[in-house]
Amino acid sequence: MRIKLAAIPLAVTLPLSLAACSGSSADDASSDDAIQVGFLAPAPRNDGGFTQYALAGVEKAVEAGGMELTSIVDNAAESQEQIEGLQTLAANNDIVVADGAVLNKAVAVVAPKYPDTHFILVASDLEEYAENVSSVTVAVGLDALVAGAVASMRSESKKIGMIAGPEVPSSTAWYYGMKQGAAIENPQTEVFQAYTNDYNDVGKAKQAAEAMIANGADQLLSDLDSGSEGIYQAAGAAEGIEVYNVFALHCDENPNIVGSGVVSWSDVLESTVTEAAADELPAGAISFGLKSGALSFQFCEGKASEEEIALVEDITGRISDGSITPEEGVLLPRPSYDFEQR
Amino acid sequence: MTPPSAAALRALGLRLLTQLAVALVTLLMAALILLAIGVSPTVAADAFWAGTFGSPTNAGTTLTQAVPLFLVALGWIVTDKAGRLQVGFPGQVVIGGCAAAAVGLQCENVPAPLAVMLCAAAGMLGGALWAGIVAWLWASRGVLEIVSSLLLNLVAIQVLAWLVRGPLQGSLDQQPQSADFPESTRWPAFPSVPGLTLSYDVLLMPVLAVGLIVVLSRTSFGFSLRASGGNVTAARWQGIDPVRTGVRAIALSGAFAGLAGAALLFAGSAPWLSEGFEAGIGFNGIAVALLARNSPVGAMFTAVVFASLNVGGTSLQSLLDVPSTLTSVLQGAVIVLVLVAAAVAVRRRSTTPPEPAPAPAEPSGRVTAAAGQGA
Amino acid sequence: MSTTTSGADPRAGTRSSALRLSGVTKRFGGFTANDAVDLEVGWGEVHALLGENGAGKTTLMRIVTGLYQPDEGTIAVDGEEVAFRRPEQALRAGIGMVHQHFTLVPTLTELENLAMGPSLLPLRDGRRTALERATSVESETGLRITPDRRVADASISERQRLEIVKLLCRGARILIFDEPSAALTPDEWEDLARLMRRLADDGHAVVLISHKMSEVFAVADRFTVLRGGAVAGSGAIAETTREDLVEQMVGESVEIRRERGPVQAGRPALAVRGLSVLRDADQPRGPRALDDVGLDLRGGEILGIAGVAGSGQAELVETLLGLRIPVAGEIEVAGRPYVDRSPSSFYAAGGSLVAEDRHHVGMFGSMTLWENINVRALRRPPLVRRNVIDPAAARHRARDLMAEFEVRATSENQAMGRLSGGNQQKAVLARELSTQPALVVAVQPVRGLDVRATEFVYRRLLDQRARGGAVLLISMDLDEVLSLSDRIVVLAHGRVQGVLDAADATRARIGALMTSREAS
C-alpha cells in the first residue's frame, strides 16, 4: 500500500516533466526545394473506388509537377486520429489532401494552426471560409441531368428510377438531376426514388429494384457500391430492364448496364493539386461540373444510338453554356463564401 | 504497517520483470515487422518518440488520450474486484459520450465550469444507466453479465449511428456528425502547453486512482464489493447482499466508462460527436487494466503506454508512411502477450502449495494485492 | 464384531465373482481414504456397501468406475484383472454407476439422451440404434422409457429409470447405485427395489450404497461395511441383524463425557416448531428434507443434533439463515419471532454460525485476517462511521481477538487463505463468538482439525455455554455430540427420531435411532 501510494506522485510528475522538456524534431516544414504533398483518408487507400482514384490523381500531379508525395495516412476513421494525422502531415508538407467528406471538421480544426500549408478538402465544404483551404466537390446533379435525359429516351414505359444508400444531399442530387433531365427529354416521364440506407446492402437494393420494376420502371440508376449487385439481380430476373451506374463505368459487371454518370476524382485531384503547387488554386469552395471534363455521361460500348449520343452532347453543351439552369436540389447547397463552379 | 519483506520484494521484482519482458518482446516484434516492410527501426523509433513525447504538444496529446483508456480500466477493475465479468465498456463509452454530447449541445449559454460539470455528469449517468441494464438483467433475470454486456455494445453502436444521422446530426452536408460543441462545454487545457493539447482531465488519473483505492479499502461499500468478489457464497452467508453489491459495482463501472466517453469528446481536439469516436478504447481499456494487473495506479502507466501506441502509430504513418495496420498488429500483440504473461503468473501461483496445508509465514506482498489494491 | 469371511458364506460359492477388489488402497497426501479394502460381488447378487459419511464408500466406487486409480491392490472383473485409467474403460468393461446427480441433458428428449455417447462415427444419428436397444432392454427388464419426452419434464424417479436404461443400453452388467433413494418417495423406492432385485435375478451384479438399514434389509443379499476407510465387516444379510450392522458402522469407542456444571437453563435461545422444508424447491410434491421438525434450546445449554449426513442438517442451517424458504413452520430466535429471515437478520437477532464448509461459506481466503475476523463488525459502528472504515481500530480489534482465540499468524495482515486450517477455524470462532451471541450454531466445528485445535474449539463452545449462551451443535460425529451435548436430538430422513438426555444416551441408542426405518 505504501509503495503504491508513493508511486502516485511519481506517476504524475513523470509525464508532466516529459511534457515540459521540449524537443522540436517534427515541426519544421520541408527544407527541400520540391513541393511536398501529404494525403489522408478515412478509408483504405486501395478501396477500389473514391480513395483509390483520388490518390491516383494526386500521384499523377506529383509526378508531372516534380513534387514529392511524402506520406499517406489511410484508415483514419476516428476524429482524434484524423486531427493528429492532419497535424503531422501539415507540419511536414506544403499541400495536404484531406480525402473524405467526414474530414471537414478535422480540417477546420487543424488548418488555422498551419497557415503556410494549403489544404485540399475533397467532397465536402467547410462551414466557414479559411484562407488556406480549398474544398473541392463535384456537381453530380449535372451528370444526373444527362443520365435522366438518356434514360427517359431509352425507356419504353416512360418510368425511370434511382436507388441510393442514405438520403443525403449528395444522393438526392442524383434524383433531382434525373428528374429535370427526364423532363427536358419528355415531360411525361416519371422518376422514382428509393433509399436503402446502406451502399453495400445487396438484399435491400434488390428489394428496392424489384419494387420499382413492379411499378413499371425499366431504367434504374444505382447510386450504390457493392449494393449494385442487388439491382443487377433484379434486372436480370425481369425483361428489358437497363441499369446505369455512377462515378465510373462498370460495363463488364452486367450486360444490362447502359452507361454511367462518370465522375473522375482522379482528374479533379490532378488539376487541383497541380494548381495548388503553382499557387494558383483559390481558397474557398470549388465545384467541378461537366464543363471541367471531370464529369461526363459515358455509354458502354455499343449501347448507344446516334440519337442518344447527340442528346448527351446537346444537354452537356446546354448545361455548360448556361442555357439549362439546374433546378433546386440538383446542386448541393452552396456555402456562403467564395464559390466557383467549373 | 510492516516494511516489505524479502519475499514481497521478490514478488514485486518478478512482476516488474514479467512486464519488462512483455515490453521487450513487443519491441522486438515491432522491429521485425518494420524491417520486413523496409523501414529502419531506429528511424521509426525517432518518429515514434517525436510523435508521442518529442514535443510538449505531442506529449500533451498522448497524455490526454491516456485518460479515457485509464477510466475504462478503472471500470474494469471495479467489476473485477466485485467478481463480475462485465465487458460492455464500448457500449457504455458510446452511450456516455452520446449523453454528454446531447447535454453539451444544449449548453450554449451555460457558464463554462457548470457546463463542463454537466457534461461530465451526463456522461457518467449515461454510462451507468447503460450498464444498469446489464446489472438489472443479471440481478433479476440471471442473465450472464458478460453476454448481455457484449450484446448491448452492438445496440449502443446502432444508437450512436442513429443519433449522428438523426437527432444530433448537425454538420453542413449531412455527414454523420453532430455540430461542434459550444466553447463553454469544452474541457480546459493547461495553457502552458503549446497547442493546448494537455487537458486538465489528466489530473483525474491520480485523483481517481487514489479515490478508487480508498473507496475499495476504506469504505464499507468497497469492503462488501471485495468480499462479494472474493467469495460470493461466504459474502451471502455473512449477511452481505452480493446481488446489491454487484449491481452497484456494475453501475459504477459503467459510470467510469461513460466519463471516458465524455472525456473523449470534450477533452480532445475534436469537439463533436462522430460515428467512430469510441475508437476501440472500450476493449483496449480492459487490456490496460490487465497489463497493470488490475491496479489503479499501474493502470495510469499502462494507459499512457497504450495511448502512445495509438498516437505513435499515427505519427509513424504520417512521417514514414508505415501502414496503419501495423499499429493495430502491435496493439493486438501487446494484448496477447499480456494474456500470456498473466497465464504464466497464474500457473506459477498454482504450483505453489494452495491453502490448507499448514503454510508457514508467507508475508505480505501478496496480502495487499489480495486486499484489493494490486501493485 | 461379527465378521464373516466371504469364503465361509454358503451362497458365495455358488456364484461366480463379478467384481473382486483385493487390497485396494488409496491415499490422498497423508490421508488414507481406502485401506487395503477387499470386496467381492457375485453375479446375480445385490451387494450393499455400508458406512458412515467419510468411511470411504465414494472413493472406493470412484476407483471401481475408473475416476481414480488405486495406489495398491487389484481389481478383477469377471475373474480378469483390469486397470482403468478412464471412466469409459470401466463402462466398456460393463461397470456403470447411477449417480445421485444424474448425468442427463434436461433439454433433450429421453431418446436423444440415450443416443448420446461415444460412437465411432461422430456424425451418425444414433437414435435408431438407441431405440432398438431401449426396446430390447424393455423386453428384458420391463423398464420402459418415453422416447419423445424431454428429460426436463420427467420426474426424479423417471429420470433415474432413464439413467439405468442408459447404462443397460451401453452394456453395463455391474450396476452401482449411489444412495438411490435420496430423492425418491417411499412408493418410488419400492419400485426401484423391485427393479434392483429383478436385475440381479437376471444375472446382473448390483451394488447399493446406502446407510438406510430398511433398504439394505429389503433388497440386499450380502453386505460390506466400511469404517475409516477399511473393511469393518462383510457377510450375508440373512445372517446378520440391524444392531450388528449399526455397530460395525459406528464402531465402539470410549465415551468421554466432559465435565461441566449442571444445566442452568436460561432464556429461550432457539425454538423451532413444525418446520418442513422441501429437498428440491422446484419439486413442490417431491420429498422433504425436513419434515415437521421441532427443536427447543435455551441459554446455558448445548443441544446436539446427531444423524448421518443428508438427514436434513444442511437444510436446517440454510433455513435458519433464510437461504431456504420452508413450506411450513415457525422459528423463534432469542425469544422473539424470527419471521423476516435473512443472514443479516439472523445475526442481528443474536445468532451466529460456525459453518461446516469453512472455505466455501465461512471465510474469504484472499482477504486479510483482520478483515475476515471483522467481516460483520465492519458493517456497523464503531469500526465504520458514515460508511468509512477505521482500519486502525479494526486491526486493533483483530489483534485482541487473535490473542484471545490463540490465532497464530505473522500479523493481522496475513491472508486468511494462508493460515493453517486450525488457525482459520480459530479465526472463525473469534468472529462468531466475539459478539456474545445468544445462539451459536456450530456445524462439524472440528472437521479437519488436529487434536489441539479440536480441544480449543470444544473449550470455547463450553465457555459459550458457561456464559449463558446456547449452542446448537450439528455433527455427524457421534463422539463429538455425546461428549459436548446436554441433550441430543437424533435426526434421520428429515424427521426428529428422538430426543435423548445426554446422561442416558449411548452410541448404540443413538445409532439405532439414526438408522431407524423412515415413517412411510
Q: The domain spanning residue B116 has which CATH number?
A: 1.10.3470
Distance from CA of A337 to the nearest CA of B (A): 13
Q: What angle do CA C107, C109, C110 make, to 5 degrees?
A: 125
If you classify domain A32-124 with CATH, what class do you get?
A: alpha beta
As a whole number of angstroms, the distance between CA C320 and CA C349 comes to: 11
- Judge if C510 and C361 occupy the same domain: yes
Q: Which of B180, B269, B373 sits opposite A80 (nearest CB)?
A: B269
Cross-chain Cβ contact C420/B358 below 8 Å: yes
Would an 8 Å CB–CB cutoff place C265 in contact with chain B? Answer: no
What pLDDT does A279 receive?
A: 86
Asked, for residue C436, whether it belongs to a domain, the answer is: yes
Please give the pLDDT value at position C24: 93
Q: How far is CA A6 from the centre of its chain?
A: 55
Given a cut of 60, whether residue B200 has pLDDT beyond it is yes
What is the rounded CA–CA span in Å between residue A125 and residue A136?
7
Closest-CA distance, B8 to chain C, in angstroms, reads: 12
- Spans of chain C below 70 pLDDT: 1-15, 30, 53-54, 101, 117-125, 183, 252-259, 451, 516-520
A168 contacts B56? CB cut-off 8 A: no
Same domain (yes/no): C45, C120: no
Is the residue at B358 inside a domain? no
Q: Do C410 and B356 touch (CB under 8 A)?
A: no
Confidence of residue B357 (pLDDT cuts 50, 70, 90): very low
CA–CA distance, C383 with C387 (Å, rounded to integer): 9
- The whole-angstrom separation of Cα C312 and Cα C307 is 9
Reported as a single tens digit per residue, the pLDDT across A130-178 is 889 999 988 888 889 899 998 998 888 889 999 998 888 888 889 999 9
Q: Looking at the domain that runs over A140-263+295-331, which CATH code has it been given?
A: 3.40.50.2300
Domain shared by C181 and C75, yes or no: yes
Q: Which residue is it, cell 442481528?
A: C348
pLDDT digits (tens, 9 = 90+) for B260-286: 999 999 987 888 898 888 888 999 899
On whether any CB of chain A is under 8 Å from the CB of B189, the answer is no
Task: Verify whether the Cβ–Cβ distance B274 to A79 is below 8 Å.
Answer: yes
How much is the pLDDT for C345?
Answer: 93
> Both C285 and C232 in a single domain?
no
Interface of A with B in 60-99 (CB under 8 A): 70-85, 88-89, 92
Domain hosting B193: range is 58-349
Both C135 and C186 in one domain: the answer is: no
Of residues B348 and B92, more confidently modeled: B92
Q: How many domains does chain B have?
A: 1
Using a CB–CB cutoff of 8 Å, tell me whether B370 touches chain C: yes
In order, the DSSP letters of C172-226 are --EEEEESGGGG--HHHHHHHHHHHHHHHHTT-EEEEE---HHHHHHH-SEEEEE
Q: Do the chains contact at B318 and A77, CB–CB below 8 Å?
A: no
Average pLDDT, chain A: 83
Contact C417 B221 (CB under 8 A): no
Same domain, C163 and C312: no
Low-confidence ranges of chain A (pLDDT < 70): 1-32
Q: Does residue C20 share a domain with residue C122? A: no
Position B370 confidence tier, pLDDT thresholds 50, 70, 90: very low
Residue C34 phi/psi, 5° resolution? Answer: -130, 130
Q: Are residues C28 and C163 in the same domain?
A: no
On whether the CB atoms of residues C215 and C245 are closer than 8 A, the answer is no
Which of C171, C196, C227 is the endpoint of a domain? C171
What CATH number does residue C218 fall under?
3.40.50.300
In this predicted model, what pLDDT tens digit does every residue of A255-281 receive, in sequence order? 888 888 888 889 999 999 999 888 888
Burial classification of residue B156, based on how many CB atoms lie within 10 Å of its CB (0-12 exposed, 13-18 middle, 19 or more buried): buried
Cell numbers given for A341: 463552379
By the CB < 8 Å criterion, does C127 face chain B?
Answer: no
**Is residue C202 assigned to a domain?**
yes
Q: What is the pLDDT of residue C253?
A: 53
Residue ending a domain, among C150, C171, C192, is C171
**pLDDT at res. B375:** 31
Interface of A with B in 217-276 (CB under 8 A): none
Please tell me the distance in Å from C421's CA to the nearest CA on chain B.
5
What's the pLDDT score for residue C303? 94
Are A73 and B324 in contact (CB < 8 Å)?
yes
**Residue of B48, B70, B186, B314 best to disrupt the A interface, most CBs of A under 10 A:** B314
Q: Identify all chain B residues contacting A127, using CB atoms and an 8 Å cutoff.
A: 171-172
| B contacts of C410 (beta carbons < 8 Å) | 361-364
Which residues on neighbouring strands pair with residue C293, listed in sequence order? C275
C449 lies in which domain range? 268-514
Please tell me the distance in Å from A322's CA to the nearest CA on chain B: 25
Scan for cell 462545454, then name that residue: B185
Chain B residues with CB under 8 Å of A166 CB are 165
Please name which of A248, A229, A219 lies closest in space to residue A308, comparing C-alpha atoms. A219
pLDDT score of B159? 94
With respect to residue B83, please indicate whether it lies within any of the assigned structural domains.
yes
C313 with C340, same domain: the answer is: yes
The pLDDT of B163-171, averaged and rounded, is 84
- Put simply, the answer to whether B355 touches C365 (Cβ < 8 Å) is yes
Q: Over the stretch B289-317, which tens digit does the pLDDT of each residue have?
A: 988 889 999 999 989 988 888 888 888 88
Cβ within 8 Å, pair A27-B61: no
**Do both C358 and C394 map to the same domain?**
yes
Residue C459 neighbours by CB under 8 Å, 6+ apart = none
Last residue of a domain, one of C152, C171, C190: C171
Domain count, chain C: 3
Which chain B residues touch C383 with a CB distance below 8 Å? none
What is the reported pLDDT for B4? 57
Provide the pLDDT confidence category of residue B346 given band limits of 50, 70 and 90.
low
Q: Across residues B42-66, what is the average pLDDT? A: 88
Please check whether residues C86 and C148 belong to one and the same domain.
no
Burial of A101 (0-12, 13-18, 19+ CB in 10 A): buried
Residues C299 and C411 reside in one and the same domain: yes
Which residue(s) pair with A219 in the sheet? Answer: A160, A242
From-to residues of CATH 3.40.50.2300 in chain A: 32-124, 140-263+295-331
pLDDT of C122: 54
Q: Does some domain include residue C327? A: yes
The residue ranking higher by pLDDT, B153 or B343, is: B153
Across the interface, whether the CB atoms of B63 and A2 are under 8 A apart is answered no
Q: B173 versus B279: which is more confidently predicted? A: B279
pLDDT band at residue B36 under the 50/70/90 scheme: confident
Q: Which of C359, C366, C389 sits opposite B223 (nearest CB)?
A: C389
For residue range B210-238, what is the model confidence (pLDDT) as tens digits?
999 999 999 999 999 999 999 999 999 99
